[in-house]
Amino acid sequence: MIDLKKLEIFEDTTIREAIKAIDRGNLQLAIVVDKKRRLLGTLTDGDIRRGILSGLDTESNIKGIYFRSPLVATLAESKKDILQKALDRKIHQVPIIDENQHVIDIRQIEELIKPREKSNKVVLMVGGLGTRLKPLTEKIPKPLLKVGSKTILETILSRFLEYGYKNILMCVNYKSDMIQEFFGDGSKFGVSIEYILEDKRMGTAGALSLLKDKISEPFFVMNGDLLTDINFENMHNFFVSDEADALMCVREYEFQIPYGVVNTDNIRIKSIQEKPSHKFFVNAGIYMLSPKVLKYVPKNEFYNMTTLFETLIEKNRKVISFPHEGYWMDIGRFEEYEKANTEFNNIF
């Protein structure tokens, strides 16, 4: 990951110091920020040359020469969208910003075309019974159900592979032999797969207690029945830049009460709201964790991910959320399975 602090300069930075920042970053680019580290613009070698040609010297500040409207992308944008932006504008580097206008990464077009391989592991929880999808799941585990032209699990693997994540750990239980036979060591899918066998039902996080010797850096955990277009690389960089212990991907859920809501003070009616809507953030079943949190997972017990997060909050560990506004489908019921099949070709 790029050390962004090496690239950061301010409006009162001299051209001499700006040149040093550009050289340090080795990206032919520096990022101009304010005192709260919010992005103001970018500065390139070309901007400096034009400034010097206009009469500035190396002790002049860069306030009048940096580019104030750079092409940027948000955390929610997919690699495909970012690449298209860069190609359309013939730009080689695209700053990725969060909701506070802080730069959390700089994506280079070469990496967008061919992603850099990452060593971080991806833990997929694929041991569920798929009870709500019976009889479809009586003879086949839910992750092997086809949505569109691929099994659910194939699509998940291809999405991680798109961002350079190839090291996969599958926590298996129900019909584990079918999953292992289908995917093998993962080589024919472009990834490397290891299997962790749950000898009993262990919840959405219990199997993490079996991974302590296999994890040495931040890792993903994802339920094996989800389809999403989330940008995993942005999620990873957000986790690292915030120096978090645990990250939960969340989605906004809106619920409308189908009646007029009456607000009262004892028996007196104060106001009436006609069919109000309430918005909440809900757990999307995609996480990133530091290896340090594994010590909080009890050994060989049934344990849920929400319980782990509650424990981490109680222990005052740094627990953050990563909102996802794009496509997300939890394939738990027939209506969701049918909807995913209808939408698959348009999304993936």
**Residue range of the domain that includes 164:** 118-347
pLDDT in tens, 59-70: 999 999 999 998
55 pLDDT above the threshold of 70: yes
Q: Burial code of 216-240, b = ≥16 C-beta within 10 A, e = fewer?
A: eebbbbbbbbbbbbbbbbbbbbbbb
Query: Are 98 and 147 within one domain?
Result: no
Query: Are 103 and 124 within one domain?
Result: no
DSSP string over 146-157:
EETTEEHHHHHH
Q: In the prediction, which pLDDT does 274 show?
A: 87
Domain end (from 54, 89, 113): 113
Query: Are 74 and 128 within one domain?
Result: no
Which residue type is seen at 119?
S
CB contact set of 333 (below 8 Å; sequence gap of 6+): 132, 133
**CB–CB of 18/47 below 8 Å?**
no
Q: In the prediction, which pLDDT does 275 show?
A: 85
Query: Are 201 and 235 within one domain?
Result: yes
pLDDT in tens, 249-267: 998 888 788 888 888 888 8
Band (1; pLDDT cuts 50, 70, 90): low
Query: Are 160 and 86 within one domain?
Result: no
pLDDT in tens, 202-216: 888 888 988 877 888
Cβ-in-10-Å burial (0-12, 13-18, 19+) of 209 comes to middle
Strand, helix or coil for residue 45: helix
134 pLDDT above the threshold of 80: yes
Query: Are 123 and 97 within one domain?
Result: no
Report how many domains make up the chain. 2
129 pLDDT above the threshold of 90: no
Considering only 32-41, 107-116, 336-345, which range has the smallest mean pLDDT?
Answer: 107-116
Which CATH number do you get for residue 87? 3.10.580.10
Domain end (from 66, 92, 113): 113
Q: In the prediction, which pLDDT does 153 show?
A: 94
Query: Are 63 and 162 within one domain?
Result: no
pTM as predicted: 0.77
Which CATH number do you get for residue 146? 3.90.550.10
Domain end (from 53, 88, 113): 113
Query: Are 154 and 267 within one domain?
Result: yes
pLDDT in tens, 83-105: 888 888 888 888 899 889 999 88
